[in-house]
Structure 1
Amino acid sequence: MALTTGSGTGAAPTRAGHAALAILAVAQFLIALDYSIVYVAMPSIGAELRLTESTVQWVISGYAVFFAGFLIVGGRAADRLGARRLFVGGLLVFGVAALAGGLAQEPTTLLLARAAQGIGAAVLQPAVLALLNTMFAAGPERNRALAVWGTTGASGLAAGVVLGGLLTTFSWRWVFLINLPLAAVCALAAPLLVIAGSAPRKTVPLNVLSAVLCTGTVLALAIALTSAASGGWASTTTLTGLGASLVLLVAFTVRERGSAGPLVDPVLRRTRSLVVGCGAAALYMASVGNEFFLVTLLLQQLRGLTPLQAGIGFLPLALAITAGNMVAGRLVNAFGSRRVLAVAFGIDAAGLLLLALLLHGDSYLADLLPGLIISGLGHGLTFTTMFIAGTRDIADRNQGVGSALMTTAQYISGALGVAVLVLVLGPAPDAGRFMWAVLLTALFAAAGVVLAWFGPRRSPAGDPKGV
């Protein structure tokens, strides 16, 4: 695989291309690992730090809220200041915050560390995607690179669910401390191995007011949705957050329309493939993306498995996701991203439907495993393909914020989905409640089929089969 710069000015040796891709893939592994490794450690964290059930969820939600809130700003900063610079900075923030979380002796320190980790990841994720999309030429080359990126991320999910259960048997603190060596290796290697990508646009300053309004909008909405999952839709925090997010959104829109240097380039709003990509990301998270949340509860609360047993129970799902990611790039090259994305969402829907219909049984192998494997394959296909399709038409100068818009849509949808699923499950979910919750995720996957198939029909460069 040759490595090219975003401007097409030259190519680096194949070995250098592989080394750079490896660093970016390890960084994605780190983000995915942190997402899944904490789930099975939650009961142990809550017990040692004496957290209430409504507070312990913020170990995950605090990370997710700040991650979603700072993504667009992180993406624009990567475009303005240089993606490689932000890549290293994001890794440093993420690593230091992980260390603080692992050493935390009381809840406040842990929750602040998780918020800082979210901010670090919000800078890191769009920087990774911006580097991938500017270093590798659009078409088969970039598709292969994104497939490697997605596969490594899925491997992180697989490693996280197993390592989370294993490390928690010693101490939950290791689920945070394990991030340190990976972050250190990537931060040290990036300046040597990763090409900077498109040149920083120092002549155009970051729109600070738009950045504050945008971050405030997403933060308020994310907090409101997270509060809805624990305190209900009528709670003061939920209603206040929804109201604040609406006011801030109006202010952000007015500011963007009147600004000479908007945070979100107007051309992105007119890029139909990106708009469809954001919709696909939202439906992906509302369907198979929230499967981890449901399966965690299903295995530990309904089936009564230990953290280690639950981690092992997750493994086939995570391995199937990895397999789906591995073949996504080749399928897109052969059939086009529109067709592959529609089929991927169809596989998601079929797997989730099968899981919903069989989960009443007592056998893991007969009743849960088939649905987990099928939905996992679709999950991997969907994740890689939606980023190939959504970022294909974005110019190098906007790759950071374009990728961030897709990821923001993904995580806001995840927060909304969890809030709705908690409502469906109720305070004491039984098998029937779980069935309806999983059926709802299957419905979102079916909506993804429609969106993918009836999205942009024109053929952008590098995708002769159409998006």
Structure 2
Amino acid sequence: MTSTQPLPAPAQAAPPQHLTGRLKVVLAVLLVAQFMLAVDFSILNVALPDIGDSLGFSLANLQWIATAFALCAAGFTLFFGRIGDLIGRRRIFLGSIALLGVASLVGGLAPNPEILIIARVAQGLATAAATPAGLALLTTSFPEGPLRQKALGLNGALMSAGFTAGAVLGGVLTDVLSWRWAFFINVPVALAVLLVAPAVIAESRPADRPKVDLPGALTVTLALLGIVYGLTQAGEHGWTHPLAMAGLLGGAVLLALFHLVERRAVQPLVPLDVLRKRTVAWGNVLGLLAFVTETSLVYLLTLYMQKTLGFSALAAGLAFGVLGLGTVAGGLLASRMIARTSTSAVLIGGGLLQAAFTAVLLLLGDTPAAMGLLLPATFLGGVGNMLVIVGFMVTATTGLPDREQGLATGLASMSQQVGITMGTPIMSSIVTAVTGGAVTAAAILDGVTVAIAANTGLVLLGVLIAAVFLRTRRA
């Protein structure tokens, strides 16, 4: 006798609670790619004088090796993040990693300044596309909750460690081999990612594909280019320099225009209701402050170790290995602490830890014995900074559907890259104002001390924002 009762609907597969074999490979591929992208931000800093001597860059044009990369990496991030939502994040990710590999090969073989700058522009565009696409693949591959928090914690740790490792690696490669290997090192890594990623990473895109908001894309990209250009010029020539002021004012005007364009767009590049979400808006402000403070602290301590203590560039770079270990430790701790408390508690606690051990650096003296204070302080400050960075990533990408993860990670990547670009000019201007142009060991120590105090103040501002605007109950 045949039963007439309807069969029960098949149960929807529950999201995995532990890392499966495939998810481990996905995580490894995405983390390796993000680490490589982070290394590129700083790997050429130590090598710039050698590049200038080898290819004949003038002193005035040498800064364009860094500026060309920063302009494209920050200026196009939001645009490519949204494009990934529309045409597929895996497609954007693989294409941009391929572009990065080719650009790195061209940069390493560059026979003249023009080819090198073109390669740096291509590297910047590849970074602008790969960073949000990789983050979006990470957030859509891992369900919201402990697994995603763990993945974002590891991602944040490796990205921050990559920024620090770039300075060390650039110095070692330049001294032992040649500055060209600072480019060549990307090529085998990009090939490995391209060989493994297509087999393990699924495509991620929304079911419907809205039209690209070209007016919004154009205005926001030009606005970010103007702001980043203004910041780089401010770092080189001061905040009152005409080019710095023109870039910053032009960028601000274009951002206001972008807001008007998005209010009237039928399918906006950045839906304003997303920006009105407390977690997205304030989370990205915290991310901006986190990257402004820690990356600029690296600049200040490099200045201190070389100009006050007389360290070589390589020795100063190696000293930041301790900071790198602190960021890795913070990334490993972050997901566990979020699970046991809450994201806001980690943001506040991490910010207080970073502020406390940044303030400790106000006690630095003018003898090498100060390294006994600097090394543990940078380790513990790095732990606190990474707790904030992971908390920011979790906050800024939580509560949004998968179709908007490219936008969310694009905003987060933009905050990161603009923060990296902003920090050094801000702190450099403080040091210059205090020293009045003097370059004696004592003058540099005075300037660095005042800038460290300002850095501590910015960290505490982030703590205040987290406590007031992002306070949540325990999960």
TM-score (norm 1): 0.91
Cα distance in structure 2, aligned partners of 1:435 and 1:35? 26
Cα distance in structure 2, aligned partners of 1:339 and 1:174? 42
| Matched position secondary structure for 1:234 | coil
- Do the aligned residues in 2 keep the contact of 1:81 with 1:201 (CA within 8 Å)? no
User: Closer, same or farther in 2 for the Cα pair 1:192/1:9, shift >3 Å?
Assistant: farther
Higher mean C-alpha displacement, 264-273 vs 47-56: 47-56
Partner residue in 1 for 2:281: 275
| Matched position secondary structure for 2:91 | helix
User: Closer, same or farther in 2 for the Cα pair 1:322/1:13, shift >3 Å?
Assistant: closer
| Matched position secondary structure for 2:119 | helix
User: Closer, same or farther in 2 for the Cα pair 1:246/1:320, shift >3 Å?
Assistant: closer
Gaps of at least 5 residues in structure 2 are: 1-11
Residues 313-354 of structure 1 deviation map (CA, whole Å, 9 limit, x = unaligned): 111111111111111111111111100111111111112111
User: Closer, same or farther in 2 for the Cα pair 1:320/1:140, shift >3 Å?
Assistant: same
Which of residues 242, 253, 275 is equivalent to 2:248? Answer: 242
Q: CA deviation at 1:243?
A: 3.3
- Do the aligned residues in 1 keep the contact of 2:304 with 2:444 (CA within 8 Å)? no
Partner residue in 1 for 2:451: 437
Partner residue in 2 for 1:192: 199
- Identical-residue share of aligned pairs (%): 32
User: Closer, same or farther in 2 for the Cα pair 1:364/1:99, shift >3 Å?
Assistant: farther
Task: Give the aligned residue type for 1:420.
Answer: I
Q: CA deviation at 1:109?
A: 2.1
Partner residue in 1 for 2:3: none
Which of residues 42, 50, 54 is equivalent to 2:48? Answer: 42
1:174 aligns with 2:197: no
Cα distance in structure 1, aligned partners of 2:451 and 2:52? 25
Q: CA deviation at 1:458?
A: 4.7
Count of residues in Structure 1 that have an aligned counterpart in Structure 2: 454
Residues 30-56 of structure 1 deviation map (CA, whole Å, 9 limit, x = unaligned): 112212322222332233334344432
Partner residue in 1 for 2:4: none
| Matched position secondary structure for 1:454 | helix
Task: Give the aligned residue type for 1:412.
Answer: V
Q: CA deviation at 1:158?
A: 4.8
Partner residue in 1 for 2:343: 337
Task: Give the aligned residue type for 1:192.
Answer: A
Cα distance in structure 2, aligned partners of 1:213 and 1:23? 33
| Matched position secondary structure for 2:366 | coil
Cα distance in structure 1, aligned partners of 2:100 and 2:41? 13
| Matched position secondary structure for 2:420 | helix
Q: CA deviation at 1:9?
A: 8.2
Residues 181-208 of structure 1 deviation map (CA, whole Å, 9 limit, x = unaligned): 1111112221111122344643x12112
Cα distance in structure 2, aligned partners of 1:304 and 1:49? 28
Partner residue in 2 for 1:111: 117
Q: CA deviation at 1:246?
A: 3.2
Gaps of at least 5 residues in structure 1 are: 1-6
Q: CA deviation at 1:446?
A: 0.9
- Do the aligned residues in 2 keep the contact of 1:54 with 1:230 (CA within 8 Å)? no
Cα distance in structure 2, aligned partners of 1:222 and 1:99? 26
- Do the aligned residues in 2 keep the contact of 1:302 with 1:430 (CA within 8 Å)? yes
- Do the aligned residues in 2 keep the contact of 1:165 with 1:310 (CA within 8 Å)? no
Task: Give the aligned residue type for 2:137.
Answer: L
Cα distance in structure 2, aligned partners of 1:347 and 1:54? 40
Task: Give the aligned residue type for 1:313.
Answer: A
User: Closer, same or farther in 2 for the Cα pair 1:9/1:210, shift >3 Å?
Assistant: farther
- Do the aligned residues in 2 keep the contact of 1:273 with 1:389 (CA within 8 Å)? yes
1:208 aligns with 2:214: yes
Cα distance in structure 2, aligned partners of 1:304 and 1:54? 25
Residues 101-121 of structure 1 deviation map (CA, whole Å, 9 limit, x = unaligned): 212222222222212211111
Task: Give the aligned residue type for 2:212.
Answer: L
User: Closer, same or farther in 2 for the Cα pair 1:154/1:221, shift >3 Å?
Assistant: closer
Residues 422-444 of structure 1 deviation map (CA, whole Å, 9 limit, x = unaligned): 21122435111111111111111
Task: Give the aligned residue type for 1:96.
Answer: V
Cα distance in structure 1, aligned partners of 2:170 and 2:320? 11
Residues 54-77 of structure 1 deviation map (CA, whole Å, 9 limit, x = unaligned): 432332232122111001001101
Cα distance in structure 2, aligned partners of 1:225 and 1:105? 29
Kindly report the root-mean-square deviation, in angstroms, between the aligned alpha carbons of the 2 structures.
2.1
1:357 aligns with 2:363: yes
Residues 373-420 of structure 1 deviation map (CA, whole Å, 9 limit, x = unaligned): 121111222221210122112221111111221222233333333222
1:69 aligns with 2:75: yes
Cα distance in structure 2, aligned partners of 1:360 and 1:42? 27
Cα distance in structure 2, aligned partners of 1:441 and 1:269? 27
Higher mean C-alpha displacement, 237-246 vs 448-457: 237-246
User: Closer, same or farther in 2 for the Cα pair 1:302/1:61, shift >3 Å?
Assistant: farther
1:452 aligns with 2:459: no
1:29 aligns with 2:43: no
Cα distance in structure 2, aligned partners of 1:441 and 1:377? 16
1:397 aligns with 2:403: yes
Task: Give the aligned residue type for 2:452.
Answer: V
Task: Give the aligned residue type for 1:445.
Answer: V
Please give the residue correspondences for 1:392-431 in structure 2 after superposition, counting only pairs within 5 Å: 392-426=398-432, 427=437, 428=439, 430-431=444-445
Cα distance in structure 1, aligned partners of 2:164 and 2:336? 22
User: Closer, same or farther in 2 for the Cα pair 1:435/1:13, shift >3 Å?
Assistant: closer
Q: CA deviation at 1:172?
A: 1.0
Residues 219-268 of structure 1 deviation map (CA, whole Å, 9 limit, x = unaligned): 01110111111122232212321332233223322221111110002221
Cα distance in structure 2, aligned partners of 1:405 and 1:13? 27
Cα distance in structure 2, aligned partners of 1:164 and 1:51? 19
- Do the aligned residues in 2 keep the contact of 1:81 with 1:200 (CA within 8 Å)? no
User: Closer, same or farther in 2 for the Cα pair 1:409/1:178, shift >3 Å?
Assistant: same
Cα distance in structure 2, aligned partners of 1:231 and 1:59? 17
Higher mean C-alpha displacement, 84-93 vs 244-253: 244-253
Higher mean C-alpha displacement, 404-413 vs 436-445: 404-413
- Do the aligned residues in 2 keep the contact of 1:345 with 1:448 (CA within 8 Å)? yes
Cα distance in structure 2, aligned partners of 1:310 and 1:25? 27
1:231 aligns with 2:213: no
